[in-house]
């Protein structure tokens, strides 16, 4: 277990708005909230990378572009172009969705090549890389196979979900992923994390980053609990 201050917990949050109808006004609001609450990153669709980079200039909030989102069903070449373009216009973190069809076909060489190419680009630009599994469609065996590839390729994070599938992050999946990557790769939990209790359980299970659109409510809930107990930190 570890002691976390409120600031520590805020810096675990990727503040998210990936809605297809997100407006410029919504992006301005998202970025200002991220600044106010000291969140680690804003998670946005790739097209909004430049806008958010401009809005977050000279702050410590990263710009996280979603690549091949939410289906992952584009070619490696397309994903690489989208990744480079996002970085060139301001993204400082990349969350890409794997090609689930190729995984289902047992084409692990394809999945490894895809991961390697995208992670290579991120390293060249000194940008954080995250690989979205979309676990709701996968068997445990497929999740483990992805973890084994990740241990070999070494992206910065593997991630449970897009938040657009039939279900999101589960404690079982976070534990499984952490078990099979250990300390080589970090785990991000995303999808359906909407309250402080779930947030803390995901961290306890091994998640080192949380993607959520409910970050403000979660931090306010924890802040209230700390004020009630007159504590400076919480143990998770």
Looking at 79, 143, 159, 178, which residue is catalytic? Answer: 159
pTM of the entire predicted model: 0.97
Q: Across residues 167-192, what is the average pLDDT?
A: 98
How many CB atoms within 10 Å of residue 29? 13
pLDDT in tens, 123-165: 999 999 999 999 999 999 999 999 999 999 999 999 999 999 9
* Percent of the chain with pLDDT strictly greater than 70: 100
pLDDT in tens, 39-91: 999 999 999 999 999 999 999 999 999 999 999 999 999 999 999 999 999 99
Mean per-residue pLDDT of the chain = 98
> Is residue 159 flagged as an active site residue?
yes
How many of the other CB atoms lie within 10 Å of CB of 119?
22
SS3 state of residue 3: strand
What pLDDT sits at residue 56?
A: 98
Domain of residue 117, CATH code: 3.20.20.70
Q: How many domains, in total, are found in the chain?
A: 1
In this predicted structure, what is the pLDDT of residue 232?
95
143 among known catalytic residues = no
What's the rounded mean pLDDT across residues 84-106? 98
95 alpha-carbon distance from chain centroid = 6
Among residues 4, 3, 16, the alpha carbon closest in space to that of 215 is found at: 16
What is the per-residue pLDDT for 191? 97
Residues spanned by the domain of 162: 3-235
Known active-site residue 2 = no
Catalytic residue among 14, 62, 95, 173: 95
| 3-class SS string, 171-235 | HHHHHHHHHHHCCCCEEEEECCCCCHHHHHHHHHHCEEEEEECCHHHHHHHHHHHHHHHCCCEEE
pLDDT at 89: 98
Question: What is the structure's pLDDT at 218?
Answer: 98
- Taking only the tens place, the pLDDT of each residue in 107-130 is 999 999 999 999 999 999 999 999
């Amino acid at each position: 277990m570890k002691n976390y201050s409120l600031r520590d917990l805020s810096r675990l949050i990727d503040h998210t708005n990936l809605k297809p109808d997100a407006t410029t006004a919504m992006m301005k609001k998202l970025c200002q909230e991220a600044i106010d609450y000291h969140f680690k990153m804003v998670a946005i669709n790739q097209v909004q990378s430049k806008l958010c980079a401009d809005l977050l200039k000279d702050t410590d909030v990263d710009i996280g572009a979603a690549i091949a989102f939410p289906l992952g069903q584009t070619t490696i070449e397309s994903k690489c172009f989208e990744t480079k373009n996002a970085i060139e216009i301001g993204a400082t973190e990349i969350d890409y969705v794997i090609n689930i069809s190729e995984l289902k076909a047992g084409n692990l060489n394809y999945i490894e090549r895809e991961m390697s190419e995208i992670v290579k680009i991120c390293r060249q630009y000194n940008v954080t890389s995250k690989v979205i599994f979309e676990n709701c469609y996968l068997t445990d065996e497929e999740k483990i196979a992805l973890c084994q590839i990740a241990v070999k390729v070494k992206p910065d994070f593997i991630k449970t979900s897009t938040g657009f599938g039939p279900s999101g992050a589960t404690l079982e999946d976070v534990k499984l992923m952490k078990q099979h990557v250990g300390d080589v790769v970090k785990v991000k939990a995303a999808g359906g994390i909407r309250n402080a209790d779930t947030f803390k359980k995901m961290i306890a299970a091994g998640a080192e980053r949380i993607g959520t659109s409910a970050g403000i409510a979660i931090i306010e809930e924890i802040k209230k609990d700390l004020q009630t107990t007159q504590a400076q930190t919480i143990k998770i």
